[in-house]
Structure 1
Amino acid sequence: MASTGTGGLVGRGIADITGEIAECGMLGYGMAFQQSAGLHTRLRARAFAFSDGTERLMIVVCDLPLMFGGVVRAVLARLPRGYTESNVMITATHTHCGPGGYAHHALYNGNTGGFRTKTFAAVVDGIVEAALAAHEDLAPAALRLAHGRLENASANRARRAFDRNPAADRALFPGGVDPQTTLLSIERDGRLVGAINWFAVHNTSMTNRNRLVSGDNKGYAGYHWERVLGGCDYLADAPQELITAFAQTNAGDVSPNLNLRPGSGPTEDMAENTRIIGTRQADAAAALADKGRNGEGTSFDLVLDHRITHVDLSDMRVLPAFTGDGRFHRTSGPTGGATSPAGAIPDGPTYFKGFGAERNRVLGALSRGVVYPLSRRLRDAQAPKPMALPASANRVVPLVQRRLPVQLLRIGPLYLIGLPFEVTVNAGLRLRRTVAPILGVAWQDVLVAGYSNAYGHYTTTPEEYDAQMYEGGSTLFGRWQLPALQQIAAGLAEAMRDGRPVERGEPEPDLAGRRFNRGAAAAAPVLAPPGRVFGQPLSLSRTGSVVAAEFVAGHPSTELRRGGTYLEVEREAGADVWTRVADDGDWATRLHWTRGTGPRKRYAVARVEWDTTGAAAGRYRLRFHGDTEDGPFTGVSEAFDVPA
C-alpha cells in the first residue's frame, strides 16, 4: 500500500443551485423555444476547501451552463476572510439544459426575457452555501492524484479544424479527443469522502429539444457516484458522506454524441445517452480511486499556491515567442464570426436561420472585400473570420465580457489553468506545454480548467481558427487569442515558480445595477380551475414501467424549493405509514409542468413520473408539492402496487 499524503486540511460541501424550472429560457443552445418546462435532475454546486497551514484554496464545481463574472463577484463578497478571487475557482460543468438569465451581459439573456433575479439568487445562494459548508468541514485528509484514460465517452466534432494542427500534436490525440481522465481523491481514516474528476467532454447529451432542467452527463456522473454507488440521500438531515464533482477541462471541440448527431450515440435516446456517458465518467473516476488506494496513485503532502490577473483581451500585444511566426501581433475587440450563430451541428442545429456551421459566403465576401481592406489591424487580428457581430456592438450594450480573469492554482503536484473559455483539445495542449516546463512538471499534471470564473466563449489554435468552423467563429478576440493566453499563463507560472506576486489588472466593471439587469417581467399568474384546488390529483396512469400522476399546479417559480423537492415517491411501510424512497433529485423521477392555452392559460398541470424499474415490490403513492402566494400545498395520488 502506498503511503498517504498528510499535512493538510480539506473540506467538502454540496448545495442546490436549481433556478426557475418553468417558463425560463434555457442557457446553452440559445433556442428561443427552449423554455424550461419541468425538472429531471436538480443542479448542484460541489465545493472543496483546502488549507496547508499557510495558504487557503477553494474549488467550486457547478452544474450550470456557464459561469459569469457577476456570479463570482456576488459569491466572493459573502465568503469568509481569506478567500479571494485569486484562491477561489468557481467553474461550470456546461450543461445546456439549465435555466438562464443569471448573466449581467446581455447576450446570454436573449431567450429569458431579461435578467432573472430568482435564478441568479438561487445560483449565488447555493454556491455560497456549498462553499461555507466546505470551509466548516475542513479536517485532516489524505490526498491522491491519479491519471487514466477514457476512450469511449467523447468524439471530436470539428475534425476539419483539428486536422489543420501539426502532425506531432495530432499524434498525441489520434481520436481527436483528449482521453486523459484525472482524479483528485480525498480520504479520511482510509475512507473516500470526496473527489474531483476532470475529463474533456461537452455536457450536451441532452439536446435542445429537451425542456426539463438537467445536469446532463456530468451531473449524472456526480449523482451516480454519490447516490447510486455511495448511497447518499440529498434530502437527509445528516451531512452527505461522499461528494464527487465532475469538472470540465479542454472540451471545446469534444462532443458526447458519439455518432456526431444531436442525441445520437451510444443510443438514439438522449436521456439514455446522458446516463451512459455519465456512468462511463463515474466508473472511470471510481476505478482511479481504487487504483490510488492500491498504491497506483500519487500521494502527496498538501502544498497550495495561486495567482490571478485580469486582462483586457480586446487590445493585447502578443510577443513573437508565442505567436509562432516570429512577429508581434495584437488581439482585437470581441467579434463574432458568421459560423458562431449556427451552433455546433453535432450537438445542436442552427439557431439563427441564414448562418451556416461551415461557411457564410455573403459575410465572408463582405469581410474580405470591404471591412478588412479598410483596417490592417483588424485584418491581422480577425481574418479570415467572416464577421457577423462587430466589436463596436459591444460598446453600445455590454453583450460579452471584455476584461477576463486568468488564474493558476496549485494543489500539490496538480496545476490548474483557470480560463473563462471553451478551450479546444489542441489549444489546451499548447497551454499545458507552455506552463509545465516553467514549473518543472509533466504536462499531464497541468490541466486547463475551462468555464471558470467568467465566460469569454471559445479558444482555438491559430490553425483551427483559420478553418472558421463554429469554434473558430466563436473565438472572439481573434487569431492570436491562444498565443495571448499562453503569454499570460507563462507569466503566472513564472511568478509562481519565483514566489512573486502578479499585477491584478483591471477587472470587468460591475454591471449589476444597469437598467437591463433589473429583472425580467413577472410570469402570468396561475389559478386553480373553477371547482378545483391546488394539489388536487387529476389522474393516475401506467405506461410500461412508468407510473404518472397529474395534479392541479401553481407556478413553480413562486417558490423554487431549493434544497427541497417538488415531488416524492412514497412506499407504504405500515398502517398509514409512508416512507420516501425517491424525490426530484433522482434519475428515475421527472416533473413536467404545463400551462394551458387560450382561455385556460391561467391554469397549469404538473405531471409527476416515476420509472419503477428496479423498485422493490410494494404499495406506493406519488406526492406533489407546490406553492402559491398564499402558501404551500401538497397533493397525493391514489396508491398503486409495484409487483415483484
Structure 2
Amino acid sequence: MTHTRPGPARRVRTYATLVAAATALATVGTGASLAQASGTTTTAATSAASDGNEPYLVGRGIADVTGEPAEVGMMGYADLGQTGAGLHMRQRARAFVIADRASGERVLHVNADIGMVFQSVRDAVLARLAERFGETYGESNVMLTATHTHAAPGGFSHHNLYNLTTLGYHGKTFDAIVDGIVEAAIRAERDLAPAQLQVATTQLTDASANRSRLAFNRNPAADRAHFPTGTDTASTTLQVRRGGEVDGVINWFAVHATSMSTDNTLVSPDNKGYAGWHWEHDQEGVDHLTESDDPDFVASFAQTNAGDMSPNLDLQPGTGPTDDQFENTRIIGTRMFDAARAGVSGRRTTLRGGVDSSLVYVNLADTLVDGQFTPDGKPQRTCSAAFGAAFAAGSTEDGGGGLPIFKEGKDGGNPVVKVVADALYTASPALKACQAPKEVLLPVGALDLVQQKLPVQLVRIGDLYVVGMPAEVTIVSGLRLRRAVADVVGVPLENVLVQGYTNAYAHYVTTPEEYDAGEYEGASTLFGRYELPAFVQTVHGLAAHMKAGTTPPLGAKERDRSSGQLHSLQGRVVLDTPPAFRSFGDVLTAPRAAYARGEQVEVAFAGAHLNNRLRHGGTYLSVERRVGSGWERVADDGDWSTKLHWKRTGISASRVTVTWDVPQDAAPGQYRIRYFGDARSLLGTVRAISGTSPLFDVR
C-alpha cells in the first residue's frame, strides 16, 4: 500500500559534500568533536567552509511524541474535566542541529508539540543523548522548547503541582515525549549536511491579541511605543538552505497555542503544530509515516514572548476569527505559515559567524538583583515562589481552568483571599513584604510544588541570538531581555529573540509595572515584583561571558525527583473486550454508499483502549483509495482531515469512531477506512486488532 501525497513530488537533492559529511558523522557519533570530524571531509567541503558559501552543517529531524490520548487529563488549562477522548493530530518533535564547520561548536534546537518542557524531560533527554553521543551534547548547547499546546496529555512533570489535573504521574506519556525528542535529535544528526542560514522578519498583524491590556498599559510609553497595537507582530524565520534549496525553517512568533479551548478533548498540536504540518505535508509533500527518517522538509513553529498574546482574537475562548475552535486553529496556523513563507521569498539576511551557547541555573527564590537592573536603582531580592489570587481565576480570555469565585485584579475582588493571605502573612511577614503588592494565595515554593532553581540559556547562531527562558514572557518583558543582550553583544535589537517555554517551566514573567496590576499574568509571576529584573541581570551576564569568550559557572540544580512520583490510575487499562455478540474490529456504524467532496464520512468500530500502544511511527487509522488491484493511503491519524474519537462502553469495551472530512480536491473513486488497535487481555498480553469499513464512493 502506498500513500498519495497532496504536495509536490519528492525532491531529489545533490550535495557535493554529503557523503563526506555522513562519513564524518560516524566519528562525531562516538563523542569526537565536529572539528575533528570536519577534518575528514573532502576538498570541496573545506573550500565551501572557507569561502563562506555554506559555513554551517545543519541537520533536521522529526519524530512522534504523542502521549496517551484516552482518559488522561490535558496539560495547560488546569481543568479537571478536560480528559482525553481521542486524537485529532499527532504531536511531533522537530529538531535542528546547527554546527559551525570552522570551530566545531554546535547547538541542538528541539521544538515539541507539548504543553511545557519540564526539568524532568530535559534531564532525561540529556542523559539519553550522553549515552548516544558522549560529550557532544550537554547542558549549554541543548535547547528544548514547547509549542505550549493546551490540547495534549499531561502528567509528565516531576513537580507534583503540574500532575494535579492528571491525578498523578503518567510514565507512558513521559517516555513518549523523551523518546520522541531523542529520536528527532538522532535523526537530525544523521541528516547533517553543509548549509547556509538566512533570517527574515515579516509582520503578522491578524493572529494575536493582547489579553492583558490593562497591565500592558502600565508600562512606560517608550516600551509601549515598540508595540503600537499592543501585540508583538514580528514573525522571524530562520531558513536552512542546502544545495541552493530551503530544506527547513524555524519560525518564532508570539501567540499562545490556545485556539483549541478547554471544551476540546481530542489531542491536538493546536495552531503552531498545524502550521508546521501544513508546510511539511500540504506544501512540501512530506509523508510523516514513511519519511520520518529522511524528511524532505521540516518546519518548526516555536514560541517567543507569548505570555500575554492570545490567538482568540475576540478575547473569548474559542472565538476569533470564527466561533469554531477547529477552524480557528487552522486559520491562525495558516496565517503563521503565510507570514513565515513570505520571508523565504522576501528580503533575507545571511547569517555569518560562529555558534556558541551558554546556560546557568539561577535560584529565583532568593536572587539579589543589582540596582542597575531595578526600576528604582536600588538592590532588590526575589522571593520564594507564590501564586496570587488572580492565578486561581485563570486566563478568562483563553479559557483557563480558573475557579469562579476568583477574579482578575489586585486582590481578586474576593474576601476569602484576604483571609488566606492574612493567615500566610502572619506565618511569614517576609513573604508578604517580598511579594507585595500581590495578595498571596498559595506559597508553592515553601510547599516544594514548583521548580525554583531554573535554567536560563543564551544561544548564538552567527548574528542571531536566542534567549532561552523557562517561563511565559510578556512582550514588554521580552523587549527588556532582548535589549539587555543586544546592548552587551552590540547587535541590533531585531537580532535577539526571546524563546519562552524552554528547558523548564516557572509560569509567567511580567514587568514590575505589569506585576502591580494584579492580573492573571502578574499573579502567576512566582518570584515577586523583581523576577524580570533578576532574569535581565542573568541574561546580561550570559551575554557578557559570551562576548568575552568565557564560561559562567553552571550553578546548582534542583534534586532529582524521578523516584518519588505517584503514578496515576487515569487511563490505566486492565482488560479490553468487544461488545456483546461482537468481535474486535467489527463495524458498528457503516458509511453511506457515496459522499461528495466537503462531506464527512463516519465509521465506528468495536475497538480497544487507545493507551495500550501509542503506535509511534504508525497510525490508529487509514483512509485508503482503490488504485487498480491495490489500495493507497490518502490520510492517517496525523492528518487534519481525520479525527479519532474513543468512548468506553460498558465496563471494558471501546467504541472507536473515525471521521474523515473529504477534501475538496479528493480524487473520485472507491474508498475504505481502516482501524488499527491493540487489545489487552486479563493476563496483560496485548495483541493487534483491526477493522475495515465497507467500501464507499467519493464523487
Using structure 2 for the length normalisation, give the TM-score. Answer: 0.88
1:631 paired to 2:687: yes
| Residue 459 of structure 1: aligned partner | 509
| Residue 390 of structure 1: aligned partner | 443
What are the within-5 Å matches in structure 2 for residues 553-568 of structure 1?
A: 553-568=607-622
Question: Within 2, Cα distance between the matches of 1:632 and 1:51?
Answer: 42
**Residue 230 (structure 1) aligned to one of 281, 284, 292:** 284
What are the within-5 Å matches in structure 2 for residues 602-641 of structure 1?
A: 602-614=652-664, 615-629=666-680, 630-641=686-697
| Residue 218 of structure 1: aligned partner | 272
Deviations 1:148-189 (A, max 9, x none): 111000000000110000111111111111101101000111
The answer to whether the Cα contact below 8 Å between 2:140 and 2:357 also exists between their aligned partners in 1 is yes
| Residue 23 of structure 1: aligned partner | 71
Please state how far the C-alpha of 1:376 moved relative to its aligned partner: 5.6
Question: Within 2, Cα distance between the matches of 1:300 and 1:107?
Answer: 42
Question: Within 1, Cα distance between the matches of 2:138 and 2:442?
Answer: 34
Question: Within 2, Cα distance between the matches of 1:60 and 1:450?
Answer: 13
Question: Within 1, Cα distance between the matches of 2:53 and 2:227?
Answer: 32
The answer to whether the Cα contact below 8 Å between 1:113 and 1:521 also exists between their aligned partners in 2 is no
Question: Within 2, Cα distance between the matches of 1:30 and 1:208?
Answer: 9
Provide closer, same or farther for how the CA distance between residues 101 and 374 of structure 1 changes in structure 2, counting only shifts above 3 A: closer
What are the within-5 Å matches in structure 2 for residues 49-448 of structure 1?
A: 49-53=97-101, 54-79=104-129, 80-81=133-134, 82-237=136-291, 239-291=294-346, 296-358=347-409, 359-363=412-416, 365-366=418-419, 371-372=424-425, 377-391=430-444, 394-396=445-447, 398-448=448-498
Please state how far the C-alpha of 1:533 moved relative to its aligned partner: 1.2
The answer to whether the Cα contact below 8 Å between 1:183 and 1:197 also exists between their aligned partners in 2 is yes
The answer to whether the Cα contact below 8 Å between 1:150 and 1:180 also exists between their aligned partners in 2 is yes
Please state how far the C-alpha of 1:302 moved relative to its aligned partner: 4.9
The answer to whether the Cα contact below 8 Å between 1:109 and 1:115 also exists between their aligned partners in 2 is yes
The answer to whether the Cα contact below 8 Å between 1:6 and 1:300 also exists between their aligned partners in 2 is no
Mean Cα displacement is larger for which, 252-261 or 53-62?
53-62
Please state how far the C-alpha of 1:413 moved relative to its aligned partner: 1.0
1:501 paired to 2:551: yes
**Residue 530 (structure 1) aligned to one of 568, 576, 580:** 580
The answer to whether the Cα contact below 8 Å between 1:115 and 1:520 also exists between their aligned partners in 2 is no
Question: Within 2, Cα distance between the matches of 1:634 and 1:368?
Answer: 57
The answer to whether the Cα contact below 8 Å between 1:339 and 1:360 also exists between their aligned partners in 2 is no
Question: Within 2, Cα distance between the matches of 1:559 and 1:375?
Answer: 49
Provide closer, same or farther for how the CA distance between residues 302 and 58 of structure 1 changes in structure 2, counting only shifts above 3 A: farther
Deviations 1:205-257 (A, max 9, x none): 00000000000000000011100111111112572100010000000000000
The letter for the 1-side match of 2:612 is T
The letter for the 2-side match of 1:585 is G
**Residue 535 (structure 2) aligned to one of 461, 469, 485:** 485
The answer to whether the Cα contact below 8 Å between 1:263 and 1:273 also exists between their aligned partners in 2 is yes
The answer to whether the Cα contact below 8 Å between 1:11 and 1:138 also exists between their aligned partners in 2 is yes
* SS at structure 1 position matched to 2:74: strand
The letter for the 1-side match of 2:213 is R
Please state how far the C-alpha of 1:370 moved relative to its aligned partner: 6.1
**Residue 58 (structure 2) aligned to one of 4, 10, 20:** 10
The answer to whether the Cα contact below 8 Å between 2:88 and 2:637 also exists between their aligned partners in 1 is yes
Question: Within 2, Cα distance between the matches of 1:64 and 1:381?
Answer: 33
Question: Within 2, Cα distance between the matches of 1:368 and 1:30?
Answer: 22
* SS at structure 2 position matched to 1:28: coil
The answer to whether the Cα contact below 8 Å between 1:19 and 1:560 also exists between their aligned partners in 2 is yes
Using structure 1 for the length normalisation, give the TM-score. Answer: 0.95
Deviations 1:491-517 (A, max 9, x none): 100000111110100012110011425
The answer to whether the Cα contact below 8 Å between 1:363 and 1:387 also exists between their aligned partners in 2 is no
The answer to whether the Cα contact below 8 Å between 1:204 and 1:216 also exists between their aligned partners in 2 is yes
Mean Cα displacement is larger for which, 197-206 or 163-172?
163-172
Output the aligned Cα RMSD: 1.7
Question: Within 1, Cα distance between the matches of 2:268 and 2:537?
Answer: 37
* SS at structure 2 position matched to 1:185: strand
The letter for the 2-side match of 1:586 is D
| Residue 43 of structure 2: aligned partner | none
Question: Within 2, Cα distance between the matches of 1:349 and 1:246?
Answer: 23
Provide closer, same or farther for how the CA distance between residues 555 and 373 of structure 1 changes in structure 2, counting only shifts above 3 A: closer
* SS at structure 2 position matched to 1:580: strand
What are the within-5 Å matches in structure 2 for residues 37-52 of structure 1?
A: 37-52=85-100
Q: Identity rate of aligned residues, in percent?
A: 50
Structure 1: which 5+ runs fail to align?
Answer: none
Question: Within 2, Cα distance between the matches of 1:613 and 1:604?
Answer: 28
Please state how far the C-alpha of 1:484 moved relative to its aligned partner: 0.4
The answer to whether the Cα contact below 8 Å between 1:4 and 1:143 also exists between their aligned partners in 2 is no
Question: Within 2, Cα distance between the matches of 1:487 and 1:313?
Answer: 12
Please state how far the C-alpha of 1:341 moved relative to its aligned partner: 1.9
